[in-house]
Amino acid sequence: MKRPDWWRSDATAPFRLGPRMLPGRVWTASGCFGYGLAAHDFTAADCASPYAGLGAVVTKTVTPLPREGNPMPRLVETPCGALNSIGLENVGFDAFLTTVLPELEARGVPTIVSLAATTPEDFGPMVRRLHDAASGFRHWHGVELNLSCPNVAEGGHDFGSSPATVARCVAAARADLPDRALLAKLTPNTADIAQLAVAARDAGVDAVSAINTVVGLDVDLRTGQPYLPRRFGGYSGAAILPIALAKVDQIVRGTGVPVVGVGGIATVEDALKFFALGAVAVQVGTAQMRDPFAAARVAAALGQWSSS
């Protein structure tokens, strides 16, 4: 598309996020590009690499212990998106720290580490170990707290739906993260997302990421049962773009908390809608699973305008 008259920014230039300079404003979203290591051999005629121009890869969420995730099937394609119930399958924090993060650093991948835990206090030790192990790393830029998982200590409801719990998670992480960006990823499955953003800011985040997936369900008409064994899943992709835009608008206009926009972005036009509302950066999720070059192409399109 033609560059809109209102667009003045340079989304491919480094920008400050809290204590850290990040290399750009187009990122990949957690869980949709693995740990950021699987696509280094990919090539395309119009794009040097799936990593070209990216401001950050947000890793798959890592938990204190390894997790196998939920039983299959756990990903269902819908006409306008995807419904997933992966259950946070990941290698666990120890393996991530000793093998994955050093490899990301060696490859020069700008990295935001996504973390989840079952109690707010679990975040402190993880962040401390991350800080100790990777304080010399040039490409590790920060941590995104995935606050959309069940909180065991509080009876299994989502961490992210209680402002007080959001604040405790952020405070536990911030104390040991003096020199990297700290983000809290917010759930849209709440009546007032702005309240969560305020709780996160007051406890010390540099930005919030909005949104995680929307609760959804789809039925397999052959069986009359939900496709997913756990019935509900997280809905993502093109269909949630207007939901994500609405949530981002509520946060920006209602609170002024810096927001990284996530939800339904596949093209430069989609990304521009978030920037128009005041997002400081954007993340590409589900689109990245269909086309690993999606985020890089968005960055390339914005970069062309910036230099023209």
Ligand X SMILES: Cc1cc2nc3c(=O)[nH]c(=O)nc-3n(C[C@H](O)[C@H](O)[C@H](O)COP(=O)(O)O)c2cc1C
Q: Which residues bind ligand X (CB under 6 A)?
A: 29-32, 60-61, 75, 82, 84, 86, 88, 114, 146, 185, 212-213, 236-237, 240, 262-265, 284-287
Name the residue among 280, 212, 272, 276 with its Cα closest to residue 244.
212
- Give which of 27, 35, 37, 83 is closest to 60, Cα–Cα: 35
CA triple 57-252-277, angle to 5 deg: 75
User: Shortest distance, CB of residue 40 to ligand X, whole angstroms?
Assistant: 20
202, burial (CB in 10 Å: exposed 0-12, middle 13-18, buried 19+): middle
Q: Which is nearer to ligand X, 53 or 261 (CB)?
A: 261
Neighbours of 86 (CB within 10 A): 16
- Name the nearest CA neighbour of 218 among 118, 49, 75: 75
Catalytic residues: 149
- Which of 111/236 has CB closer to ligand X? 236
CB of 28 to ligand X, least distance (A): 9
Beta carbons of 54 and 295 less than 8 angstroms apart: yes
- How many CB atoms are closer than 10 A to CB 2? 5
Question: Cα separations (Å) of 133 from 37, 111, 130, 247?
Answer: 19, 15, 5, 35
Gap between the Cα atoms of 186 and 212, Å rounded: 6
CB of 236 to ligand X, least distance (A): 3
d(CA 137, CA 140): 6
Q: Which is nearer to ligand X, 84 or 161 (CB)?
A: 84
Largest CA-CA distance found in the chain, in angstroms, rounded: 55
The residue with tokens 């212990």 is 65
- Residue 84 CB, shortest distance to ligand X, in Å, is 4
Q: What whole-number distance in Å separates Cα of residue 56 and Cα of residue 296?
A: 11
The candidate with the shortest Cα–Cα distance to 52, out of 298, 306, 222, 307, is 298
Closer residue to ligand X, CB minimum distance, 212 or 250: 212
What's the min distance (Å) between Cβ of 13 and ligand X? 23
In this complex, which beta carbon is closest to ligand X, that of residue 12 or of residue 28? 28
Give the nearer residue to ligand X in terms of CB position, either 196 or 287.
287
Which residue of the chain is nearest ligand X when measured via CB?
A: 31
Phi, psi (5° rounding) for residue 223? Answer: -110, -20
Instruction: Tell me how far, at minimum, the Cβ of 288 lies from ligand X, in Å.
Output: 7
